[in-house]
Every structure is written in structure tokens, then in C-alpha cells.
Chains A and B, each alone.
Chain A
Amino acid sequence: MIGNFPVFFIFFIGALILLLTKGKLHKFIFITIPALAFFALINTPVNTEIVGSFLGIDLKFIFIDKLSKVWGYIFAIMAFSSAIFAYHNDDYKENIYATLYIGSSYGVVFAGNLLTLFIFWELMAIFSTMIIFARKTDASTKSGFRYLLVHALGGQLLFAGMILYYFKTGNLDFGYIGLQDVATLLIMLGFAINAAIPPFSAWLSDSYPESTVTGTVFLSAYTSKTAVYVLARSFPGEEILLYAGAIMTVYGIIYAILENDMRRVLSYSIINQVGFMIAGVGLGTQMAINGAAAHAFAHILYKALLMMGAGAVLYRTGISKTSRLGGLYKTMPYTLLFSCIGAAAISAFPLTSGFTSKSLIIAASAAEHKTFVYHILLLASAGVFLHAGIKFPYFVFFQKDSGLRPKEAPKNMLIAMGFVSFLCILLGVYPQVLYNILPYEVDFKPYTASHVLLQLQILMFSAAAFFFMLPMLKRTETITLDTDWFYRKGGALFISFVDNVIIKIGSKIKDLLFTKIPDKFSYIFSNPDGYIKIIYNIVYYKVFEDNPEKLKENKLLLKDIGRVKTDTHIGISMIWVTLFMAFYLLIYYFYAG
């Protein structure tokens, strides 16, 4: 807090300054903004509130406590290191949108009421879409639109839930909500879409791999983790989240094993890792919430590190399919080293941040005697190493010699990756740094002999399983269908249904109303007395005289009414007058009495 300004104003004002600057100054400011925010946040006292009134409703605009501060700190650290990583990038627009995106996620995390939260929630969706568009390829534009539509749906669910919730409870304060009725269910669904809980997870793995080298690094940190925060604050201890989280951990692994694109593999591992956090939220005990917060903190760092490593490879080679990569250890040793630190951290190797954060959640699940979830989380811990810990470095840097000899990553990327690697190890060696800022007191020792042995056995035997099954894991040049199939294929089906059925029926109706019927009338009224004469003749020759020849002749004349000559030249106006007279007569007859 600077005076009365909440931290995220730094980002919005900063974005304005970024808009006006160019070159080195622009890039320097881009890096400075999060650093400023970090120090401003250190000086923000816990339980800060800013209260005001809006449209006659008293609202708590801003609320900052220990829980939201965890996210506040990591968001600043993440923004700082990603800005260094993006130093080479000359797309100023992307930097500005990234700054606005980060500012909006701060808005969500520090929101004291649902309305403020909703506004920043929508801003996040818009600015993150702009980051996806920054790749400027056909694929990124299309997936950006899909991303926006999914998040618009999420925003609408949240909005509907919020309105219902306000009318029921009469307040909009954002705190514990709890799943009770339709209103709270809608709010939870809105949050669940951003948390990438299947079946609402396809937006993540669809769009992140299509973004720019730098954009993906920014995207990987904020959207899903703000969702974890809002769920931790409003729905802790909901059993459905516990099982959703457990399912997510496995879901992410299965897809990551099948995928070929390295950044899509990492995107699926975000779903897997967020699953651990959601499970922690679902447990809802103090230890589990601590675990979810700690794991979000640690995860943002090592996931960024992995995305940076993959980004550096993509930047140097232009390739992201693992089937076409391999053997890069020869020319990109530092990128390999940092990627391996990220891989070790995500796999929760002892001495890395993943080990000290994930253990909190797994220990909490055992303490609550959630047998099923405990075993699923253990299984997923093994699977993480398989898909992200070994698969990513192995297929990119080793595997076979792809013939590629790219240069080592640019200096700024190496500095960013080095900095994040350092933090990953720091949190692993001195977990107290992280434990001290968690919302509740931590009474947990990660480094006991039995726990380290547990983890090492699981990990090393996963590695053994990986090499044992290597032939089965050979890369294929395929994509993997996810739930986006329903709206991608379903959307195409709907368009072709509209094109072929609705449009055809519509044009038939239009033809009938505006062409065929008026044509008939104008045809009749081109010679009305002649028409009447022919109709009279047809009836006469059919019914009274029984003369087939004359009947046929008259029927032919019906098609060519202009040729019919009549002796009575009454003219069109006369017909109309007669019609109206008859009409008046009827009206008089029925209503005049």
C-alpha cells in the first residue's frame, strides 16, 4: 500500500507509462513495475481494508490478509522474472497487455467484494486474450477467440451467481461462501472454469501453447492460480473440490503423456499441478490451505522455469514438437540445466520447492484419512516425474540427434531462468522462507529420513518405469482430443446446420411471402375481370355444361390471363370499390346493431 493506493494501481499506471515509452527505457520500466509492487506489498499491513459506497451499496473494495498476500508476493516475483525473460522482445503491445493482465489478477486477489472481483475477473480474460493474439498466427487468433468465449461463459456464470447471491444474502462481501444453492453453485462454476477443472480445462491446453515464447510464460502463472485463490477463500473444505482435484492430477498426466507439443505437455502439467492445489482447498484444513498456498507459490516458479526453457528452445529452433527435437544438450547446456532444475522441482525432488510444498497437501490428506485421495495423489506424484520431470527434458535435449544445432538462449533468458532456478532451490533448502508467509502456523517438517526415502523411491522407480516403457512412449505426430472437441466440432456442426437447414427453410419462407404470393396477386389484378370470367367459365363448363373441350381451353387461358377479353370494362378501381363496399356491409351487418 502506498498511501491509500492499493498495489495494483502501480501496474495500471505503469502500463500507461509503458505506452508512452520505447526502447531500453520501456523495458527497464517493464521490469521495475513488479519490483516496486513487491516492496509496496511488504509494507502493506495484514488485514488492510478499503471501504466505500457504490450505487448506494456499502462495499469493502479492497481486502488484504495473509492468504491474499501469498499470491501478491509470488505474482510480483513472477512478473519480475518474466519481464527479464521478455527483455529481448520488441513487441511493446504484448508487454503492456501483460502488465495490465498482472494488474487485473492483483485486483482479483485483493478484491474485498464480489463486484470488484467480477470486474477484474473479466479484465483478466480480456487482457490475457490480447496476449494470446500477440503471436499473430492463424492458429493463435482462432484459439484466442475460443479462449475468450470460454472465459466469457465463466464470467457470465459468475455474474449470474453473484446477482442471485446478493438478492439472497443482501451483501457482496467476498469471504467464505460455501456450496449451498444455485447462486453459490454458479459462482463455483465460474471459478472452476478459470481453475481449469475438467471438463472446463480445454481452454488452457488449447491456447497457452499457441501464444508467443514470452506470452506463455506470463499466462502460465496468473489465471489458474487466481482461481485457486478465490476457491481457497470462498469454498474451502468442499468435498467436491477434493475429488475434482484428485481427478485433475491424473487427467493432466494422461494427456501430457499423449501430447507431442512440448508446451502443450507443460500446459497439461499445469492442470495436473493445479489439481494438487484444488485437492488442498477441498480438504480445507489449516494445513491443507497452507499447502495449497505454498504449492501455488512454488508451482508458479517452477512452471515458469519450465515454460521459459521450452520458450528458449522454441525461440532458437522455431520448433515445439518433441518428435522433431532432440540432442539439444550439445548446444544449449544452460537451458538444459535450468530446465532440469524446473523438472526436479515440479517432480518434488528433495531440496527443491516442489518437495517442501506438495508434501503439505499429501500429509494433510493422510491426516484427514482420505484414503482414496491420498493414494491418487501419491500415484500422481509418480506420474508427474514421468510426464514433466523426465519426458520434457529427455525428448527435447536428449533422445536422438535431431541435427539441430541452435545457439544457447539469449543472455536475458538465461538470467531470468537462473534467478527462478535459484528461488526453486532456495525454497527447497530453506522452506521456512515460504512457511513464514503462509496464512496459518506451519507445524511440519518435510525433511525426515522416512519422507525423503519415500519420495526418492517413488521418483527413481518412476524413472525406471519410464526407461522400461520407452518404446511405448515414442512420440507420434498427433494431436490429442480434449473437451474442446465439443465446441470446436460442435461449433462447426452448428454452423453447417445453420447454413444448410435454417438458411434454406428461411429462404423458402422469404420466397413464398415476398415473391410467390405477391406475384400471384399482381398476376390476378393485371386483368381482374378477365380472371373472374375465366373462373366463371371453368365452373360453368365443368359443372353445368359438361364440355371438356371448352373447359380445357379455359384452363389454358388461366395461364395467360392477359389475352382474355371481356365485354364488361369495369376496371381495377371498380373491383376494389366493390370489395370495400362488401366489406363495409359485413361490418355493418355484424357490429352496427
Chain B
Amino acid sequence: MNKKEFDFFDKKENIKKLKIWFYILLIILVLLDLVIHKHPHYAWENLFGSYAIYGFLSCVVIVIISKLLGKLLLQKPEDYYDR
């Protein structure tokens, strides 16, 4: 190996920087709610940061439901059909 390997994402300090930028982005997006005039179809959409909350909770609900279904019912070892 004569060229140095590209390993930007393996370094802890880089991940930390990315995380900080990510949090800043999230905060900016929520704060933009104050500036931008929304065109809501339903009342809840007028709440501050409504879409952020909806997006976050949607994912939490989906993951919890799919994990429950998976563990209790659907996930089987890979050789399930060959037995």
C-alpha cells in the first residue's frame, strides 16, 4: 500500500465534528419555523417545530413496531426454510 488510506470516517474527532454540525443543522431547521410562513392542511401543522416532531416520532413508532413484530413473529434463522 503506497497511498495512504482514506479513513476520515474512522477517526473519533471527525465523527464528533460531524455530530456538532448535524445538531446545529437540526436547531436551525426548527428555528426557521419562526421565519417561514407555513401553508398547513391541518391544525397541528401550525405548532412550532411540528414537522420535526412528526418526523422524529414517526421513525420511533415505526422502529418500535417493526422490532416488536420482528422479534416476536417474523425474524427467523437464515436456514429456516431449509430445515
Contact = CB atoms under 8 A, between A and B. Distances in A.
Interface of A: 250, 253-255, 257-258, 327, 329-330, 333, 366, 371, 374, 378-379, 382-383, 386, 398, 401, 448-451, 453-454, 456-466, 468-469, 472-473, 476-482, 488-489
A383 B66 CA distance: 11
A258 B58 contact: no
26 contacts: A254-B62, A257-B67, A329-B6, A378-B54, A379-B54, A382-B55, A382-B59, A383-B58, A451-B39, A453-B36, A453-B38, A454-B38, A457-B51, A457-B55, A460-B29, A461-B53, A464-B22, A465-B55, A465-B63, A472-B67, A477-B78, A478-B70, A478-B76, A480-B76, A481-B73, A481-B74
Range for the number of chain B residues in contact with chain A: 35 or more
A450 B66 contact: no
A476 B62 contact: no
A52 B76 CA distance: 54
Contacts of B73: 481
B20 interface: no
Contacts of B42: 371, 374
Contacts of A479: 75-78, 80-81
B36 A469 contact: no
Contact of B58 (A379, A469, A477, A482): A379
B75 A465 contact: no
Contact of B49 (A366, A451, A457, A477): A457
A458 B54 contact: yes
Nearest to B81: A488
Given A449-B36, A450-B39, A457-B30, A469 B60 contact: yes
Among B37, B42, B70: residue with most chain A CB under 10 A: B70
A152 B41 CA distance: 44
A457 B29 contact: yes
Contacts of B6: 329-330, 333
A411 B32 CA distance: 43
Given A460-B29, A481-B76, 4 more contacts: A374-B41, A448-B39, A453-B36, A456-B29
B59 A386 contact: yes
B67 A460 contact: no
B26 A449 contact: no
Contact of A379 (B25, B26, B62, B80): B62
Nearest to B67: A472
B32 A462 contact: no
Interface of B: 5-7, 9-10, 22, 25-26, 29-30, 32-33, 36-39, 41-42, 49, 51-56, 58-63, 65-67, 69-70, 73-78, 80-81
A465 B55 CA distance: 8
B56 A462 contact: yes
Nearest to B59: A465
A330 B5 CA distance: 7
A478 B77 contact: yes
Contacts of A466: 59
B37 A480 contact: no
B15 to A, nearest CB: 10
B55 A458 contact: yes
Contacts of B25: 460
Given A258-B70, A333-B6, A449-B37, A465 B56 contact: yes
A493 B27 CA distance: 56
A172 B12 CA distance: 66
- In this complex, the member of B25, B26, B55, B70 whose beta carbon has the largest number of chain A beta carbons within 10 angstroms is B55
Closest 9 CB pairs of A and B: A465-B59, A458-B55, A457-B51, A461-B55, A382-B58, A254-B66, A461-B56, A366-B41, A379-B58
Contacts of A463: 22
Given A453-B36, A479-B78, A383 B59 contact: yes
Contacts of B63: 257, 386, 465, 469, 472-473
Residue in B25, B26, B53, B59 whose Cβ sees the most chain A Cβ within 10 Å: B59
Nearest to A327: B10
A461 B29 CA distance: 10
A383 B59 CA distance: 6
A462 B52 CA distance: 8
Given A453-B32, A461-B26, A480 B55 contact: no
A450 B36 contact: yes
Centre residue among B9, B30, B41, B63 by max chain A CB count within 10 A: B63
B77 to A, nearest CB: 6
A255 B62 CA distance: 10
Nearest to A257: B66
Given A382-B58, A460-B26, A258 B69 contact: yes
B55 A462 contact: yes
Contacts of B81: 479, 488-489
A379 B61 CA distance: 10
A488 B33 CA distance: 51
Given A253-B62, A398-B9, A382 B33 contact: no
A259 to B, nearest CB: 9
